[in-house]
Amino acid sequence: MTAPLLQIEGVSKAYPGVQANADISFQIGEGQLHALLGENGAGKSTLVKIIYGLVKPDTGRMVLRSEAFAPASPSEARRAGVAMVFQHFSLFDALDVAENVALGMENPPPLRDLAQRIRTVSEEYGLPLDPNRRVGDLSAGERQRVEIVRCLLQDPKLLIMDEPTSVLTPQEVEILFKTLRKLAQEGTSILYISHKLDEIRALCDEATILRGGRKIATCDPREKTARELAELMVGQVLHPPERDARARGDVVLQVDELSLNSNHPFGTSLKGINLKLHAGEILGIAGVAGNGQDELLLMLSGELRAPKRAVTLKGQPIGHLGPGSRRKLGLVAAPEERLGHAAAPDMSLTENALLSGASRKRLTRNGFIDWRGADRFAREIIARFDVRTPGTQVLARALSGGNLQKFVIGREIEMNPDVIIVNQPTWGVDAAAAATIRQALVALAAQGAGVLVISQDLDELLEIADSFAALNEGRLTRVRSAKGLTVEEIGLMMGGAGDMHVAHEASA
């Protein structure tokens, strides 16, 4: 065996109250596709930040091509040949592609030459890009290309990819994998961070699994089943949500031919949305991020007002009503952004419970707050949804992502709504909490509520949804039964192809 490219020996890093990394050792071979696997909070991000020079380890050392490697800054890491594609893209919306690429390079050539090189490299790797476009106007997939091309222009020895597929359609994932395999053949090592097991089994030669900041195992992912990997990652046996076949009830929520402008300059406007949600039905809405998911949630929750008759709840027009009035009538929503949208970060759990539960749970009387009732409501949520917290007086921002998500979704479910809208209910949530949340949504539907789940996690949608539609550039495809849908078909729907045009003709 040849010498490894990067050797990590006993790396530890502690933050106040958390041991993010504890004595982690592994190595990445030359030209190897190495997976780093773990749940949120397992320590993947910290480890990667250490390799990229953003964080200094407390102890331990790294060796890159038999030389000690301790980058003090990202630019030092870049000079040593380490490049990184970030999970939350490190791009600047108001600048164009060439400028964005130049900002991530140590010694960029003049912009005109750079534009030429961007064209050449991006075509060579099958990632076409126009260097003069403004990044704010690009799709998520194109934005990722900008990041990748930025890295490739520096001939990296090690390319770190942090959760690269979370924003891509299945077809785009295929293109990305082709690029990565080609790079590996040319001798570039790739450290691929993900919690999507099928991807890792399809792509990687070796996987290192982290849990709770420690290395659990290094293995060949192709020799393990997805289930074995998942259990290594989570440390417990997982159960998929149980569901019975259930009868569909009447239409509870209906949207007719609704077009609505986004409230954000880089947002996506909704175009001609039609949908019907029945009692007892779980409708899953797929789509790549930024195709109108946020706008759809805002429109349904009432934060964006629509024409009065365009949205009806149990036959009653509610398009003109705000979130408070809609909640009173039985429509509740849980947006994607937990901190700052679903919950007020600096308020306690009791206060957060009160903020959305006040009307349906009758927690105010003549303008005065029933604190005892609010606290009881918060306790109920915590008990029923297994929210791990020292008490109800804790600030929302102090909870981990998974626990807060259980709290905000639980809060809405506890209100016994007729319709619930959730966006990315399990985004950034550990597998056990995700299972709890999905089970709760299934149970709510079984009680006869209409459930609308917007998600970018296809496996999640296929697991719980009865019917299925996709958003593409603000348009919603026809709703189809989830039974018998293949991932390929879904990919086409998400990409805007498939039967959408047929559906348009049929309705015309």
Partner 1 sequence: MILGSINPAVLLAALMVAATPILLAAIGELVVEKSGVLNLGVEGMMIIGAVTGFVIAVNTSSALVGFIGAALGGMVLSLLFALLTQVLMTNHVASGLALTLFGLGLSALIGQGYVGVTPPRTPKLDLGWLSEIPFLGRALFSHDIMVYLTIALVAGVWLFLSHTRAGMILRAVGENHDAAHALGYHVKRVRTLAIMFGGACAGLGGAYLSLIRVPQWTEGMTVGAGWIALALVVFASWRPWRAMAGAYLFGGVVVLQLNLQAAGVRIPVEYLSMSPYLITIMVLAIISSGKARGSLNAPGSLNRPFHASN
Residues 218 and 26 sit within 8 Å (Cβ to Cβ): yes
**Nearest-approach distance from CB 332 to partner 1, in angstroms:** 30
What are the structure tokens assigned to 99, written together?
């400028």
Length, in residues, of the chain: 508
- The binding site for partner 1 (CB under 8 A) comprises 49, 53-56, 73-75, 78, 86, 88-95, 99, 102-104, 108, 136, 265
- Tokens linked to 276: 């019907």
Report the nearest approach of partner 1 to the CB of residue 83 (Å). Answer: 11
Q: Residue 137 CB, nearest distance to partner 1 (Å)?
A: 10
Return the closest-CA partner of residue 425 out of 347, 330, 328, 332. 332
| Min dist. Cβ of residue 335 to partner 1 (A) | 20
Closer residue to partner 1, CB minimum distance, 473 or 489: 473
Supply the minimum distance, in Å, between the C-beta of residue 350 and partner 1.
27
88 vs 239 by CB, closer to partner 1: 88
Burial annotation 283-308 (CB, 10 A radius, 16+ → b, else e): bbbbbbbbbbbbbbbbbbbbbbebee
Q: In angstroms, what is the minimal distance from the CB of 398 to partner 1?
A: 16
For residues 382 and 392, is the Cβ–Cβ distance under 8 A? yes
**Quick one: CA dihedral 91, 95, 101, 106, positive or negative?**
negative
Q: How far is the CB of 15 from partner 1 (least distance, A)?
A: 9
How many Å apart are CA 482 and CA 248, to the nearest integer?
14
Helix (H, G, I), strand (E, B) or coil at 271: strand
Q: Which is nearer to partner 1, 103 or 383 (CB)?
A: 103
Position of tokens 């770190």? 160
Which C-beta is closer to partner 1: that of 74 or that of 498?
74
DSSP codes of every residue in 165-217: GGG--HHHHHHHHHHHHHHHHTT-EEEEEES-HHHHHHH-SEEEEEETTEEEE
